[in-house]
Amino acid sequence: MRKFNFSAGPSMLPLKVLERVQAGLIDYDGTGMSVMEMSHRSKPYEAINAEAESLLRKLMAIPDNYDVIFVQGGGSTQFEAVPLNLAHNSTCTKGDYIVTGNFANKAYKEALKYGDMRLVASSKEDGYTYIPATTRSDFREDADYVHICYNNTIYGTRYTCPPDTGDVPLVADMSSIILSQKVDVSKFGVIYAGAQKNVGPAGVTIVIVRKDLEDKASPLCPTMLKWKTQIDAKSLYNTPPCFSIYVAMEVFRYLDEIGGVDAIQKINEEKAAMLYDYIDSSKLYSNPVKKEFRSMMNVPFFTPSPELDAKFIAESADYGIVSIKGHKLAGGMRASIYNAMPVEGVKALIEFMKKFEKENA
């Protein structure tokens, strides 16, 4: 029996995708081998790589003046790749940061090694329960970029629209929100996202770069962190995470078949509304995030005590609900309801929450 996996990542994958991958695991598309075995220089793999990019462009409506690459290292590697690639060819980058959670803070701290980094705004003092308001005048006009984390996995907040940074390129970590809702790519200079939440298994990171920003790397930037290296090689400079990219391609196919991002966004809005509505009506559970900033992907919630939280987590496993424990920095519970989490999974969680509340209120 498959479980309802509420993990923040690696997360659930669509069952149809898993079945397709299973069917072709030994012999992919008549090649007589698995994707895990084939050369990244072979025509079958080059076709996978090209289709993955083509489908992602379609799903996100990525304009022609942007390049798309699939790289290794996870989203966290981009914390350093960003300042190194956007240095305007100098050894000192100037970046403005908005810190709205743990990963936004990690990105800021990593960047401090590479130049003049400025903390523009933070919601740390209120437990990262909101997105701080900014205006164009808050950012330095000569900054090389502004960095944000669009959705905060641990604390359950998200941007509802990107900040206005004027002519300064906006860089966004979209690891936990990519493909879950429509995004106007043209409002960003760079978008990056680790795969293991909405895209596929861990191992591949998507980077979307506006073409005019591709030749600004610091001379200190390592070859393997330089976006232009992979852009020029169509993501095939070195051996890529072939299997992760292949599964991502199957996820893109699946999303395209069900109606694209528009369709999955409606499902995600339904799931999130159901869960938040129940939490708000409950006398046992609470969500600390200010309503206008609530994430559609990651829903933290709490009972009145850590002891009751622990009891909830332990008992939920008997009902097929797994990985519901909140991050160690936040405590409580966290339901990550990414694209592949079916509506039935959220309904099952709510039913268990009702039962637990009745028995423990």
Amino acid letter, 147: H
pTM to 2 decimal places: 0.96
Identify the band that residue 1 occupies on the pLDDT scale cut at 50, 70 and 90: confident
Q: Determine the Cα–Cα distance for residues 120 and 97; give it in Å rounded to an integer.
A: 6
Q: Determine the Cα–Cα distance for residues 100 and 343; give it in Å rounded to an integer.
A: 28
pLDDT tens digits, one per residue of 226-271:
999 999 999 999 999 999 999 999 999 999 999 999 999 999 999 9
pLDDT at 160: 93
State the number of CA atoms in the 13 A half-sphere of 309 facing the CB.
19
Identify the band that residue 10 occupies on the pLDDT scale cut at 50, 70 and 90: very high
Task: Using the predicted structure, report yes or no on whether residue 361 has a pLDDT greater than 90.
Answer: no
pLDDT at 293: 97
The tokens for 55 are: 């489908």
Domains of the chain: 15-257 (3.40.640.10), 261-360 (3.90.1150.10)
pLDDT tens digits, one per residue of 286-332:
999 999 999 999 999 999 999 999 999 999 999 999 999 999 989 99
pLDDT tens digits, one per residue of 165-216:
999 999 999 999 999 999 999 999 999 999 999 999 999 999 999 999 999 9
pLDDT at 256: 98
How big is the CA angle at 99 (ends 112 and 336), to the nearest 5 degrees?
125
pLDDT tens digits, one per residue of 111-165:
999 999 999 999 999 999 999 999 999 999 999 999 999 999 999 999 999 999 9
pLDDT at 75: 92
State the number of CA atoms in the 13 A half-sphere of 170 facing the CB.
20
Amino acid letter, 268: N
Where do the H-state alpha helices sit in the chain?
Answer: 15-23, 43-60, 74-85, 102-111, 227-232, 242-257, 260-281, 306-316, 343-360
Q: Determine the Cα–Cα distance for residues 71 and 156; give it in Å rounded to an integer.
A: 26
Average pLDDT, the chain: 96
Mean pLDDT within 215-222:
96
pLDDT at 217: 96
321: part of which helix (H) or strand (E)?
strand 321-322
Identify the band that residue 69 occupies on the pLDDT scale cut at 50, 70 and 90: very high
Identify the band that residue 337 occupies on the pLDDT scale cut at 50, 70 and 90: very high
Distances (CA, A) of 184 to 59, 71, 160, 227: 11, 22, 12, 21
Amino acid letter, 323: S
